[in-house]
């Protein structure tokens, strides 16, 4: 596959994971920042390779072959992110763009050795699950911080927004994977939250709380 074909498969994989249904060409075009006509041309190519099921006006789904290929791309991306953070001391807001380049490396042997070298991690630095060599994904029990009720607490296990800007914001607030977060109260006017992070009281917007995943105690 070309890099472009791999990028499309990964985009479809992430979109179907969030909707559990057919994905429209417009949704893919928005994600890929391209024209719907260009998406249609690519989907026809992917369909010819038995990587997607595509019908005009009905949307697209990955085939079993396409799904496995997409998982292997995601696997490489997330393993490289772990490597960059744990072994090369990159911060979690720096690694996405670099991993976007490294995920296209073809050597399966290299990726499996990388996996073993890292101790077979099940999550990347943002808390997202890493598919194993067979495409199996360990489910992570989590919910959004905004969904907690007063008095509940949990451990930060991931983020919904992986943009550099959001991750830098969390760094400023000393919120990271493993942080203990207690829900103190919610402001009815704007739904902002008062929380306690590892003993420090903070006020955060509902938008911030809606992008932090926690595992409740």
**Concatenated DSSP letters for 21-74?**
S-B-HHHHHHHHTS-HHHHHHHHHHHHHTTSEEEETTTEEEE-HHHHHHHHHHH
Give the bridge partners for 54, in sequence order. Answer: 60
Cβ atoms of 178 and 172 closer than 8 Å: no
Q: pLDDT tens-digit profile of 73-97?
A: 999 999 999 999 999 999 999 999 9
Asked if pLDDT for residue 130 goes beyond 80, the answer is: yes
Residue 118 domain-assigned (yes or no) = no
Cα 74 to Cα 57: distance, rounded to the nearest angstrom: 28
- Predicted local confidence at residue 167, as pLDDT: 95
Identify the domain boundary among 62, 79, 99.
Answer: 62
Q: Residue 26 maps to which CATH number?
A: 1.10.10.10
Residue 74 domain-assigned (yes or no) = no
Q: pLDDT tens-digit profile of 12-71?
A: 999 988 777 889 999 999 999 999 899 999 999 999 999 999 988 888 999 999 999 999
- Predicted local confidence at residue 211, as pLDDT: 96
Identify the domain boundary among 44, 62, 80.
Answer: 62
How many CA atoms are closer than 13 Å to the CA of 184, on its beta-carbon side?
15
- Predicted local confidence at residue 83, as pLDDT: 98
- Predicted local confidence at residue 76, as pLDDT: 98
Looking at every residue in the chain, the average pLDDT score rounds to 94
Asked if pLDDT for residue 217 goes beyond 90, the answer is: no
How many folded domains does the chain comprise?
A: 2
Residue 39 domain-assigned (yes or no) = yes
Cβ atoms of 155 and 181 closer than 8 Å: yes
Q: Residue 185's pLDDT band (boundaries 50, 70, 90)?
A: very high
Q: Residue 192 maps to which CATH number?
A: 2.30.30.90
Helix (H) or strand (E) holding 76: helix 64-86
Identify the domain boundary among 18, 47, 62.
Answer: 62
Residue 191 domain-assigned (yes or no) = yes
User: Which own/partner pairs from 190-194 qualify as long-range (CB within 8 Å, at least 24 positions apart)?
Assistant: 191/146, 193/145, 193/146
Residue 195 domain-assigned (yes or no) = yes
- Predicted local confidence at residue 124, as pLDDT: 95
Range of the domain at 58: 3-62
Q: Residue 140's pLDDT band (boundaries 50, 70, 90)?
A: confident
Asked if pLDDT for residue 204 goes beyond 80, the answer is: yes
3-class secondary structure, 200: strand
Residue 172 domain-assigned (yes or no) = yes
Q: pLDDT tens-digit profile of 109-127?
A: 999 999 999 999 999 999 9
Residue 104 domain-assigned (yes or no) = no
């Amino acid at each position: 596959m070309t890099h472009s074909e791999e990028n499309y498969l990964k985009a479809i994989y992430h979109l179907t994971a969030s909707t559990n249904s057919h994905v429209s060409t417009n949704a893919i075009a928005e994600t890929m920042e391209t024209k719907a006509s260009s998406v249609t041309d690519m989907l026809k190519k992917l369909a010819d390779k038995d990587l997607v099921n595509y019908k005009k006006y009905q949307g697209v789904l990955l085939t079993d072959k396409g799904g496995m290929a997409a998982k292997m791309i995601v696997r490489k991306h997330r393993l490289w992110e772990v490597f960059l953070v744990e072994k090369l001391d990159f911060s979690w807001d720096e690694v996405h763009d670099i991993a976007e380049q490294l995920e296209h490396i073809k050597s399966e042997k290299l990726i499996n050795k990388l996996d073993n070298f890292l101790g077979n991690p099940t999550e990347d630095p943002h808390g997202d699950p890493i598919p194993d060599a067979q495409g199996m994904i360990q489910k992570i029990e989590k919910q959004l911080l905004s969904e907690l009720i007063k008095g509940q607490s949990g451990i930060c296990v991931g983020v919904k927004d992986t943009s550099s800007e959001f991750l830098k914001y969390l760094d400023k607030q000393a919120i990271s994977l493993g942080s203990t977060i207690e829900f103190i109260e919610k402001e009815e006017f704007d739904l902002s939250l008062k929380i306690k992070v590892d003993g420090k009281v903070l006020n955060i917007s509902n938008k911030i709380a809606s992008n932090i995943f926690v595992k409740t105690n």
